[in-house]
Amino acid sequence: MEKILNGPELKEAQGWLQAAVEEAGKSPCKRDKRGAVIVDSIGLEIGSGFNAPPAGLECEPRHCEPTCKDYAVHAEMNAIANAVRRGNGQKLFNATMYHARTERGILQKSRSPKCYQCSKHLVVFGISGFVLNREGGCTYYPIEDFNRLSLESLEARS
C-alpha cells in the first residue's frame, strides 16, 4: 500500500527528488520536464534520466503537444537505460525510482500514478518502489500498487 514518507525516509526522499529535479533540467521538452533517479537497495544512485526524444532525434514541434508523451522517451525509461549502460542492470532488482515533475526548475506536485508504459517496464526490470511528490507529501508506492494504479488509469481512459 502507498505510504506518505516522514522522518529519515522523507529526508532521504527529498534528497533523491532534488537529484531528479536536476535531471529534469536537462530535458529539451518545452511542454513538460521530468527527471528520474534510481537508487539501489544499499542507497547508491545507479541510474538517472530525463524525458527527451529518442537519442539522436530532435524535439519536433509537431509532436510537442499532441503526441509528446508517446513520442518522447520518458524519464523513467531513460533512467533504466542509463543504469544498464553504466553496468548496473543487475542492481535494478529491489531498487527504488524517484520521479520529479518540474516547472522552471522547481519540483511540482505529481498526480496519481497513471503511466502504464513506464509502470510495466519497472515491474519487468525488478524495481521494487516508486516515489512521487504528491499533494499529501512524498509518497512511496510498492511497484505492484504503482502498476495497478497505472493500469486502472489506462482502463478508465478506454
Query: 12-42: per-residue pLDDT in tens?
Result: 999 999 999 999 999 998 878 999 999 999 9
Q: Please work out, in degrees rounded to the nearest 5, the angle formed at the alpha carbon of residue 127 by the alpha carbons of 122 and 129.
A: 100
By residue range, what is the domain housing residue 37? 3-157
pLDDT over 90 for what percent of the chain?
Answer: 78
In 60-126 the beta strands, taken as DSSP E runs, fall at 96-103, 106-107
Number of domains in the chain: 1
* Range 106-116 burial, b when 16+ CB lie within 10 A, else e: ebeebeebbbb
Among 13-22, 49-58, 61-70, the least confident range: 61-70
Average pLDDT over residues 60-81: 80
CATH assignment at residue 148: 3.40.140.10
pLDDT in tens, 117-130: 899 999 999 999 99
- DSSP annotation of 90 reads G
Q: pTM of the full predicted structure?
A: 0.94
pLDDT band at residue 146 under the 50/70/90 scheme: very high
In this prediction, residues 84-90 reach a mean pLDDT of 98
**Grid coordinates of 89:** 542492470
